[in-house]
Amino acid sequence: MSFLTVENIVKDFGGLVANNNVSFTIEEGEIVGLIGPNGAGKTTLFNCIVGYHRPDSGKVTFRGKDVTGFRPFETNRAGIGRTFQIMKVTTGMTVLENVMVGSFCRTNNRNTARGEALHVLGDLALDAVKDYYINELPIAIQRKVGLARALATKPALLMLDEVASGLNPTEIEEVVELLRRLNSAKKITLFLIEHIMEMVMKVSQRVIVLDYGEKIAEGLPADIVKDENVIKAYLGEKYAQGL
């Protein structure tokens, strides 16, 4: 039994088919990348899995349980965490308060939530900014806070939507090392959307490719970058020749 199974997911927005019979599995402990051009249906697929959209057809199974159509708080409690391409943090709250929002997924006790949030912030080396407001911080730190809030929900599967967007090469390398540590030390399975191919190649153990809502390839990163369909749809000959 696979950790996450996505079977024939279809999502149609008034005639625009964002996901067209997309199927794949993710095993516990994997790091899987999801790539494809803008508009390929990547974020829609994430939203269908976590419950922001209900699929028109198809099935999502997580840890042997059918979670198709679950609402986001239900998939979160089932063990699926998620970050967003556009930061979903509250600017009128401190870093600590933002992370506590995640902690409340598992407890109703404020002191317990605060303790859990402080633990996550310490683990991500964010202790020094816990009393800052989000809009006082650079984008790289804001993204780490978004990640911290997702981690505070104690996910078994963490889904990351362009977590490295807007970061410089040094910051990207730090994210790569952090994701590897979460996967190896914290035993969190990772599923990430990313446009930065250097990052995808470094961190992913397997890559799934979408184009026009359909899965056009799946395999090892080294094989994906040589796939003619992927080169044509997304990478381009220039990228492939530079490998």
pTM of the model: 0.92
Task: Assign 121 a pLDDT band (cuts: 50, 70, 90).
Answer: very high
Under 8 Å between Cβ of 70 and 78: yes
Give me the residue spans of the domains in the chain.
4-79+156-241, 94-154
Tokens 């977590």 sit on residue: 163
Residue 55: closest CA among 67, 38, 63, 73: 67
For residues 100-127, give the mean pLDDT: 94
Tokens standing for residue 206: 């397997």
Task: Assign 238 a pLDDT band (cuts: 50, 70, 90).
Answer: low
Under 8 Å between Cβ of 53 and 9: no
Buried b (16+ CB within 10 A) or exposed e, 148-172: bbbbbbbbbbbbbbbbbbebeeebb
Cα torsion 215, 220, 221, 227: sign: negative
pLDDT, tens digit, 9 for 90 and up, residues 210-237? 999 999 999 999 999 888 888 888 876 5
| Strand, coil or helix: 167 | coil
Tokens 């911080």 sit on residue: 137
Under 8 Å between Cβ of 92 and 133: yes
Strands 157-161 and 80-82, by their bridges, are parallel
Cβ neighbors of 168 (< 8 A, separation 6 or more) are 140
Tokens standing for residue 192: 């990430």
Name the CATH superfamily, with its identifier, for domain 4-79+156-241: P-loop containing nucleotide triphosphate hydrolases (3.40.50.300)
Per-residue model confidence (pLDDT) at position 26 = 98
Tokens standing for residue 218: 């799946």
Under 8 Å between Cβ of 49 and 26: no
What are the two backbone dihedrals, phi and then psi, of residue 94, each rounded to the nearest 5 degrees? -75, 170
Q: At what angle do helices 139-151 and 169-184 cross, to 10 degrees?
A: 10
For residues 192-201, give the mean pLDDT: 89
